[in-house]
Each structure stands twice: as structure tokens, then as C-alpha cells.
């Protein structure tokens, strides 16, 4: 089979890239190892930056998001048993974020692909990427019991941290940078209306907690735990009791409900660069991972996909590959800014088991500074709602 762009991975990066290219009349094929049901139901991020919202709207993929998504104009920082709100629009020229789960973005993009004759092959396992330094790279994959070859002009590896995309770059061609954090998140989904109107980020002496939501009827909550924590040691009652403790605030109450899902997520930062090898381009989690504290993972993937789509369209329509040549450097400037912001939020809000009380007092000092300083709050706000893609 022959196509202009072979895309590995039907997560938000791969599906958005395919959608933007299809709108420009550029043929592409998406290969996804998992089933459609798995892709549409795996729980991931839930906060969309203004940039991501704008891209989805402009490309015709934002109708359901605008109908059922929840616009948020700020977040609450809760520490020392006090609440401090950071307002976004007044500090960012009217920008905000949208609470709309990654699962819903994926569903919307798959539905659009079906409506517009997009080719998304599920249960199609890409097992090799060949000839990436030529003008005709090839993806070899298994689908419906047979092996196939997909010849492309460009390969976009949107296949996540454990995919074959990054591993297909020859040894010595990538530099990698990473950091492991000495804590993880225990996350739950609960059938209960959120106890807050906006996300709450809590710094507590027992550890970090986050109150988020997926809809007006479903809450998403997280607790800082040890990386090797045993999920079986956390029955529902213990989870709710610990959340009560960490969100403690006079006059405020955490509503409880039926927990429908729970899991533990490790925390790490990772960047591989450059994001290009010949005709192979790395997109999203294939090239970089951020701790979820800054709500940047999905948004970085969308930014990469938007940049790469524009570069491919320019090369296809005008024979100009300057944007393709600049893709890695351009994307990495935003990646490293997001890495730093995510690191900043993570280290400010979590209790490192290795830190002493002096370090905790520094955290509180930083939080008080953000609460009291317009300049500090503006810096947090502009990073949270998303800096320009370019």
C-alpha cells in the first residue's frame, strides 16, 4: 500500500495529525496496535490548553467539546489550610482552559475520520520502520493475520513512549534526558459531582492531592503515594479519608461517591532529541514525557501534531521543506518550556520523602509568593493556559 504520510498510533497526536492532513487533501494512513474500544476508553489527560481548543475548533473537531466540555478560568492552590485562586483570563488576555477528557477527543477524531473516509486501521501492529533516510520509507505491519508494507513520503511516530518509533532511530542519533520522581499518583474516577468548580491543587504535609473532574457528574481525584505503592492497600474508605485530610479547609466538604476506577501512575520527565531522523518524525509521547501536574502531556502532543501538519502541508503544496527542517527545533522549544513548568509545579506541590522541613518551608514560600504577587500568578497562568505553539 502507498500513502503520503504513514502515522503510527491512534492516540490524540496521530488522530489529530491525520485529521489536519486530511483537511488539506493529503492522503494518510493511521496504524494502531490496539482495538478501537481500548483506544476510546483508556483514561488519560483531561485539561485542554487554549491552543489545543483553538486547533480543534478551527479544524471542525470541536463541536462536541464546546457543547459538553467545561471551560475553566482558573485553578485553586490549597496550602496551609487556605485556598488561593489563580485567575487565568485577567492575566493572559482572556485565555482559559477546557476540561474535556482525552478519551472524548479521541472519540471525536475517530468519528470524523469515519465520516470523511479516513483510513484508521485498528489491531494493526507496526513492527518495523525501514529506509527512513530515503525518500520512500516503509512501515511493515501485521493486520488481519497477514504482514503488509506501507510505503510513505513521511512517517510520523505517534506511538507513545514504548512504541517502535523512537527505537527505530539508529543508536547514537538521539540524545535522551530524563528524571524519575520519588512518588506516584493514585488516581480514581468516581460517580459523584465535583466538590469544586475548578481544579484544586493541594500541598499538604502528608503529600499532594488534586481534585479534577471529567463531567458535571464524574470526579477525577489523585493522591501522592510511593512509586511502589500496593493498590490493594487502598480500599475505597481509606482513599476518601486521605483525600478529606489533604483537602482539609474550614467550611469545605468533599463529596463522596462510587469509585469506578483506580490506578497508580509513576511520575517521570523524559525528552529525546532531535525529533527527526530522515523522513521519520517523532510526535508526542514518542519523544517526550512530562509529569501530569502541569497538564501538559496531551497538549504537547497536539502542538507537535499541529506543527508537523503545517510543515507537511507546506512541503506538499509548495515543495518547500523549510518547516520540516525546522520541526524538531521549533517543537523542542515548547517541549522544554513545558518540561520546566511541569517540573516547577511538581516540585512545588509534592512532598519529596527525601526533603527536610527546610525544603517544605521553601515550597510554602513559593506558594505564598504566587498567591500574593500578580507577576508570579501571571507566569503560572500563562504557562498553564499554554504558550503560543510557535
- Cell representation of residue 371: 498567591
- Cell representation of residue 256: 463522596
Per residue in 95-133, pLDDT tens? 999 999 999 999 999 999 999 999 999 999 999 999 999
CA atoms within 13 A on the CB side of 230: 2
Per residue in 11-69, pLDDT tens? 999 999 999 999 999 999 999 999 999 999 887 778 999 999 999 999 999 999 999 99
Whether residue 237 sits in one domain with residue 144: no
Whether residue 114 sits in one domain with residue 45: yes
Whether residue 241 sits in one domain with residue 371: yes
Sequence-separated (6 or more) residues with CB below 8 Å from residue 161: 270, 285, 286, 289
Q: How many angstroms separate the CA atoms of 26 and 312, rounded?
A: 9
Which helix (DSSP H) or strand (DSSP E) does residue 386 occupy? none
pLDDT range class, residue 181, cuts 50, 70, 90: very high
Whether residue 299 sits in one domain with residue 279: yes
Whether residue 285 sits in one domain with residue 210: no
Write the CA distances from 287 to 251, 342, 388, integer angstroms: 44, 16, 20
List residues with catalytic annotation: 72, 201, 292, 296, 384
Query: Residues 110, 96: contact at Cβ < 8 Å?
Result: no
Within a domain: 91? no
Which helix (DSSP H) or strand (DSSP E) does residue 78 occupy? strand 74-79
Per residue in 197-252, pLDDT tens? 999 999 999 999 999 999 999 999 999 999 999 999 999 999 999 999 999 999 99
CATH number of the structural domain spanning residue 360? 3.30.9.10
- Cell representation of residue 246: 489533604
Within a domain: 78? no
Peptide bond connecting 378 to the previous residue in cis, omega within 30 degrees of 0: no
Residue 80 three-state SS: coil
DSSP at 264: E
Sequence-separated (6 or more) residues with CB below 8 Å from residue 373: none
Query: Residues 285, 270: contact at Cβ < 8 Å?
Result: no
Q: Which residue in 232, 207, 195, 209 sits closest to 77, CA to CA?
A: 209
Burial 197-224 (b: 16+ CB within 10 A, else e): ebbbbbbbeebbbbbbbbbeebbbbbbb
Domains contained in the chain, number: 2
Query: Residues 1, 23: contact at Cβ < 8 Å?
Result: no
Whether residue 326 sits in one domain with residue 213: no
Per residue in 80-91, pLDDT tens? 999 999 999 999
Within a domain: 215? yes
Per-residue three-class SS string for 189-215: EEECCCCCCCCEEEECCCCCEEEEEEE
Whether residue 253 sits in one domain with residue 272: no
pTM for the predicted model, two decimal places? 0.95
Q: How many angstroms separate the CA atoms of 192 and 208, rounded?
A: 21
Sequence-separated (6 or more) residues with CB below 8 Å from residue 187: 43, 220, 221, 222, 262, 263, 264, 265
CATH number of the structural domain spanning residue 120? 3.50.50.60
Within a domain: 286? yes
Q: How many angstroms separate the CA atoms of 255 and 376, rounded?
A: 32
Per-residue pLDDT at 389? 61
CA atoms within 13 A on the CB side of 217: 2
Whether residue 358 sits in one domain with residue 334: no
Within a domain: 47? yes
Per residue in 126-180, pLDDT tens? 999 999 998 899 999 999 999 999 999 999 999 999 999 999 999 999 999 999 9
Whether residue 32 sits in one domain with residue 53: yes
With a cut of 70, say whether residue 257 has pLDDT above it. Answer: yes
DSSP at 2: B
Q: Which residue has the cell 512532598?
A: 351
Q: Identify the burial level of 145 via C-beta atoms within 10 angstroms of its C-beta, where 0-12 means exposed, 13-18 middle and 19 or more buried.
A: exposed
Query: Residues 213, 299: contact at Cβ < 8 Å?
Result: no
Whether residue 124 sits in one domain with residue 42: yes
Whether residue 221 sits in one domain with residue 150: no
DSSP at 231: G
Q: Which residue in 84, 152, 137 sits closest to 371, CA to CA?
A: 84
Within a domain: 83? no
State the average pLDDT for the chain: 96
Whether residue 19 sits in one domain with residue 139: yes
Write the CA distances from 261 to 189, 264, 266, 268, 361, integer angstroms: 5, 11, 17, 22, 35
Range of the domain at 302: 5-72+98-177+268-345
Query: Residues 246, 206: contact at Cβ < 8 Å?
Result: yes
How distant is the alpha carbon of residue 246 from its chain centre?
Answer: 25
Amino acid at each position: 500500500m502507498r500513502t503520503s504520510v504513514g502515522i503510527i498510533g491512534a492516540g490524540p497526536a496521530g488522530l489529530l495529525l491525520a485529521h489536519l492532513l486530511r483537511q488539506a487533501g493529503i492522503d494518510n494512513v493511521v496504524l494502531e496496535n490496539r482495538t478501537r474500544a481500548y483506544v476510546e476508553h483508556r483514561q488519560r489527560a483531561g485539561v485542554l490548553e487554549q491552543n489545543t481548543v483553538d486547533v480543534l475548533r478551527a479544524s471542525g473537531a470541536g463541536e462536541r467539546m464546546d457543547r459538553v466540555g467545561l471551560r475553566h478560568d482558573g485553578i485553586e492552590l490549597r496550602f496551609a489550610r487556605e485556598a488561593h485562586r489563580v485567575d487565568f483570563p485577567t492575566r493572559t488576555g482572556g485565555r482559559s482552559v477546557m476540561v474535556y477528557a482525552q478519551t472524548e477527543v479521541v472519540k471525536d477524531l475517530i468519528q470524523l475520520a469515519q465520516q470523511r473516509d479516513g483510513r484508521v486501521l485498528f489491531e494493526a501492529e507496526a513492527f518495523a520502520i525501514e529506509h527512513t533516510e530515503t525518500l520512500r520509507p516503509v512501515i511493515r505491519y501485521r493486520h488481519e493475520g497477514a504482514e503488509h508494507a506501507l510505503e510513505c513520503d513521511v512517517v510520523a511516530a505517534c506511538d507513545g513512549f514504548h512504541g517502535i518509533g523512537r527505537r527505530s532511530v539508529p543508536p547514537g542519533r538521539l540524545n535522551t534526558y530524563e528524571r524519575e520522581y520519588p512518588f506516584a499518583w493514585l488516581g480514581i474516577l468516581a460517580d459523584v459531582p465535583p466538590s469544586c468548580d475548578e481544579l484544586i491543587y493541594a500541598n499538604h504535609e502528608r503529600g499532594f492531592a488534586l481534585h479534577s473532574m471529567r463531567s458535571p457528574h464524574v470526579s477525577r481525584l489523585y493522591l501522592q503515594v510511593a512509586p511502589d505503592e500496593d493498590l490493594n492497600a487502598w480500599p475505597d474508605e481509606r482513599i476518601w479519608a486521605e483525600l478529606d485530610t489533604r483537602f482539609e479547609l474550614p467550611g469545605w466538604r468533599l463529596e463522596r461517591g462510587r469509585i469506578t476506577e483506580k490506578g497508580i501512575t509513576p511520575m517521570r520527565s523524559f525528552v529525546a532529541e532531535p525529533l527527526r531522523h530522515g523522513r521519520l518524525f517523532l510526535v508526542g509521547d514518542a519523544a517526550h514525557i512530562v509529569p501530569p501536574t502541569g497538564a501538559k502531556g496531551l497538549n504537547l502532543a497536539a502542538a507537535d501534531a499541529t506543527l508537523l501538519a503545517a510543515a507537511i502541508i507546506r512541503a506538499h503544496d509548495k515543495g518547500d521543506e523549510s518547516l520540516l527542517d525546522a520541526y524538531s527545533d521549533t517543537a523542542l522549544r515548547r517541549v522544554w518550556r513545558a518540561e520546566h513548568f511541569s517540573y516547577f509545579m511538581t516540585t512545588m506541590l509534592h512532598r519529596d520523602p527525601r526533603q527536610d522541613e527546610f525544603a517544605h518551608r521553601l515550597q510554602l514560600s513559593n506558594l505564598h509568593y504566587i498567591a500574593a504577587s500578580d507577576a508570579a500568578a501571571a507566569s503560572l497562568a500563562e504557562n498553564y493556559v499554554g504558550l503560543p505553539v510557535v
